[in-house]
C-alpha cells in the first residue's frame, strides 16, 4: 500500500485515480457483442457464454427442478441469516414509501404527483468470482415493494452450467419471476434487446465488474434505463487515534477482496494510526482465502496523511467513495460535511460488511466517482413519478391570461388558442 504524506491539491486527481479501465477501452467489445445479440439472439448469447464462462448451455433458464434442488442445498443457518437480512432490507425500503403529493397551486388549479412501478426490470447479480446472493435481496426486495410486475434476474453460470443454490433460493424468497443463466456483457445485451426467450426490460439494475458496468452504460443508447454505474467496490476510511487499527484494516480488506480492481483508501490525521493499520493489513491478509485478489487490490490502494480534518473532508468529497467509514473523535464533522458518498458507516462498531448484508441499507451503490451525481439503489429506483393536474373553470380564469402571454411571447399561437377558446366559452 502506498503511503502519501500531505499531498498538494494539484496531485489529488492523480493520487485518487481508480484502477478500473475506461469506457473507451471496453466499448469496442461491448458494441460487438451488442450487435451480435441484437442480430442473432440466443445463439449469440450462448456463444459468448461459452467463450467467457466456459460452458455450453442448452437451456438459458433455471428450471423448476433446479429451484426445488436449491431449496434443499441451502443450510438452515444460511436460510435464517437470509431471513434476518431480508427483514431489515424490507423494513428500510418499505419505510421509503412516499405519500401522494397534492397542492392547489392557484385557486382552482390542483396538481399532484403519484408514483407508479416500472413494470419490467432486469436484475444483474454478479457471479464471476463470488456468487453475490446478497445482491438478490438488495434488488428484488425493493422491486417487489415497488410493485414491479416482471422481475428478470441474470447471473453467470459456473462451468457445469449451474447457478449457486443460494442465488436461486434468495430469488425464490423475494418473488423473482425468471432466472437467466447468463452473465457479463451478453446478459446486459439480452435484457436490452430481448431474444427469442429473454424478455426485453425497461430498466437494468445491479452491480458487476467493469465489463458489466460499461455494458449497462452503453445499454442506455438503446432506450433502456439503468440504476447507475455500480462497478468495482471501493471504500474510504477516515480515522484518527480513536479508531481501532485492526477494525480499520479488516474493513479495508473486506472491500479489497472483492476484485483485483477494487480500491481502498485510508485518510488519517494521525501517522500513528496510519502505521498501525499498515501493519494490521500485512498481518490479516495472510489468513484470507482470497489473499491473491486482495493483495492485488491493495497494490492500487493508498494510505494518505493530511494535516487537518478540513483538508481530509475536501479530499474525501473530491474522491466521492462508494463506501465511507468515519472513525474519529469528531464523526459529526464528517457526517454533516460529506457531499459525495454512496453509503456512510459511522463509528467503530459499524463495519462496511453490515451494509453489504444485514443492516437494511442497500449495497448497490455508485462507484468510480459517480457518487457526485447518482444515488445508490433505493425504493424510488423502481418507481416513476407521474404528475397530474386538474383545473376548474375558476382555475383556468385565474391562470389563463398568464398562459396566453407566455405562449404569445414564445410565438406559439396554438398554445395560446387552447386557452383563449376556453376563456371565451366562460364569458
Residues that bind ligand NAD (CB under 6 A): 29, 52-53, 126-130, 132, 135, 156, 183-185, 207-209, 211-212, 230-233, 258-259, 262, 322, 363-365, 367
The label of the residue with cell 373553470 reads 393
Q: How many CB atoms are located within 10 Å of the residue 361 CB?
A: 21
Nearest distance from C-beta of residue 258 to Zn ion, angstroms: 6
Nearest distance from C-beta of residue 48 to ligand NAD, angstroms: 7
Catalytic, out of 322, 363, 404, 408: 322
Nearest distance from C-beta of residue 339 to Zn ion, angstroms: 23
- 190 makes contact, choosing from ligand HSO, Zn ion, ligand NAD, none, with CB < 5 to 8 Å by partner type, with none
- 134 makes contact, choosing from Zn ion, ligand NAD, ligand HSO, none, with CB < 5 to 8 Å by partner type, with ligand HSO
Is 323 tagged catalytic?
yes
CA 35/CA 51 separation, integer angstroms: 17
Sign of the CA dihedral 158, 159, 161, 162?
negative
Nearest distance from C-beta of residue 132 to Zn ion, angstroms: 8
Nearest distance from C-beta of residue 134 to ligand HSO, angstroms: 5
State the binding site.
Answer: 124, 186, 209, 233, 255, 258, 323, 356, 410, 415
Bridge partners, 386 (sequence order): 114
Q: 63: burial class by Cβ within 10 Å (0-12, 13-18, 19+)?
A: exposed
The label of the residue with cell 432490507 reads 89
User: Among residues 251, 276, 280, 356, which is the contact residue for ligand HSO, using CB under 6 A?
Assistant: 356
Is 322 tagged catalytic?
yes
Q: Which CB atom, from 173 or from 361, has the smaller least distance to ligand NAD? A: 361
Stretch in the footprint of ligand HSO (CB under 6 A) among 130-138, 239-247, 376-384, 408-416: 130-138
Phi, psi of 260 (to 5 degrees): -65, -20
Stretch in the footprint of ligand HSO (CB under 6 A) among 51-59, 67-75, 132-140, 330-338: 132-140
Q: For residues 314-353, which are near ligand HSO according to CB under 6 A? A: 322
Nearest distance from C-beta of residue 2 to ligand HSO, angstroms: 22
- Least Cα distance to 191 among 146, 145, 237, 222 occurs for 222
Stretch in the footprint of ligand HSO (CB under 6 A) among 41-49, 56-64, 127-135, 241-249: 127-135
Q: Does 174 help bind ligand HSO (rule: CB under 6 A)?
A: no
Q: Which CB atom, from 134 or from 301, has the smaller least distance to ligand HSO? A: 134
User: Among residues 211, 363, 382, 400, which is the contact residue for ligand HSO, using CB under 6 A?
Assistant: 363
Q: 162: burial class by Cβ within 10 Å (0-12, 13-18, 19+)?
A: middle
Q: Does 132 help bind ligand HSO (rule: CB under 6 A)?
A: yes
Q: Which CB atom, from 135 or from 371, has the smaller least distance to ligand HSO? A: 135
Q: Tell me how far the alpha carbon of residue 399 is from its chain's centroid.
A: 43
- The set of catalytic residues is 322-323
Q: Which residues bind ligand HSO (CB under 6 A)?
A: 132, 134-135, 207, 233, 255, 322, 356, 363
Amino acid at each position: 500500500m502506498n503511503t502519501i504524506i500531505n499531498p498538494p491539491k494539484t496531485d489529488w486527481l492523480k493520487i485518487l485515480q481508480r484502477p478500473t479501465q475506461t469506457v473507451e477501452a471496453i466499448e469496442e467489445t461491448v458494441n460487438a457483442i451488442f450487435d451480435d445479440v441484437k442480430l442473432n439472439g440466443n445463439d449469440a448469447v450462448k456463444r459468448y457464454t461459452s467463450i467467457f464462462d466456459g460452458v455450453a448451455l442448452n437451456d438459458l433458464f433455471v428450471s423448476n427442478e433446479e429451484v426445488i434442488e436449491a431449496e434443499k442445498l441451502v443450510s438452515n443457518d444460511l436460510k435464517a441469516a437470509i431471513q434476518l437480512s431480508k427483514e431489515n432490507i424490507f423494513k428500510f425500503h418499505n419505510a421509503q414509501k412516499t405519500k401522494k403529493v397534492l397542492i392547489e397551486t392557484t385557486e382552482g388549479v390542483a396538481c399532484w404527483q403519484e408514483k407508479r412501478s416500472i413494470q419490467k426490470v432486469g436484475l444483474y447479480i454478479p457471479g464471476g468470482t463470488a456468487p453475490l446472493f446478497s445482491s438478490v435481496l438488495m434488488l428484488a426486495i425493493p422491486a417487489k415493494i415497488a410493485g414491479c410486475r416482471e422481475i428478470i434476474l441474470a447471473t453467470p453460470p459456473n462451468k457445469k452450467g449451474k447457478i449457486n443454490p443460494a442465488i436461486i433460493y434468495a430469488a425464490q424468497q423475494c418473488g423473482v419471476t425468471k432466472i437467466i443463466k447468463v452473465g457479463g456483457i451478453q446478459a446486459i445485451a439480452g435484457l436490452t434487446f430481448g431474444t427469442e426467450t429473454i424478455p426485453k426490460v425497461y430498466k437494468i439494475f445491479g452491480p458487476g465488474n467493469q465489463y458489466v458496468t460499461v455494458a449497462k452504460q452503453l445499454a442506455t443508447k438503446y432506450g433502456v434505463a439503468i440504476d447507475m454505474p455500480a462497478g468495482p467496490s471501493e471504500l474510504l476510511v477516515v480515522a484518527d487515534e480513536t479508531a481501532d487499527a485492526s477494525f480499520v484494516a479488516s474493513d479495508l480488506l473486506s472491500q479489497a477482496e472483492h476484485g483485483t480492481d477494487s480500491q481502498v483508501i485510508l485518510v488519517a490525521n494521525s501517522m500513528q494510526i496510519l502505521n498501525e493499520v499498515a501493519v494490521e493489513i500485512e498481518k490479516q491478509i495472510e489468513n484470507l482465502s482470497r489473499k491473491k485478489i486482495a493483495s492485488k487490490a491493495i497494490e492500487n490502494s493508498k494510505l494518505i496523511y493530511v494535516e487537518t480534518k478540513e483538508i481530509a473532508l475536501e479530499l474525501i468529497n473530491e474522491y466521492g467513495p462508494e463506501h465511507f467509514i468515519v472513525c474519529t473523535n469528531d464523526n459529526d464533522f464528517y457526517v454533516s460535511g460529506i457531499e459525495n458518498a454512496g453509503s456512510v458507516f459511522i463509528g467503530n462498531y459499524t463495519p462496511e460488511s453490515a451494509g453489504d448484508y444485514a443492516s437494511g441499507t442497500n449495497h448497490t451503490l455508485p462507484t468510480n466517482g459517480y457518487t457526485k451525481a447518482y444515488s445508490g439503489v433505493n425504493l424510488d429506483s423502481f418507481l416513476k413519478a407521474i404528475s397530474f393536474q386538474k383545473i376548474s373553470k375558476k382555475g383556468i380564469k385565474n391562470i389563463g391570461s398568464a398562459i396566453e402571454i407566455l405562449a404569445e411571447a414564445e410565438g406559439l399561437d396554438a398554445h395560446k388558442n387552447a386557452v383563449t377558446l376556453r376563456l371565451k366559452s366562460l364569458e
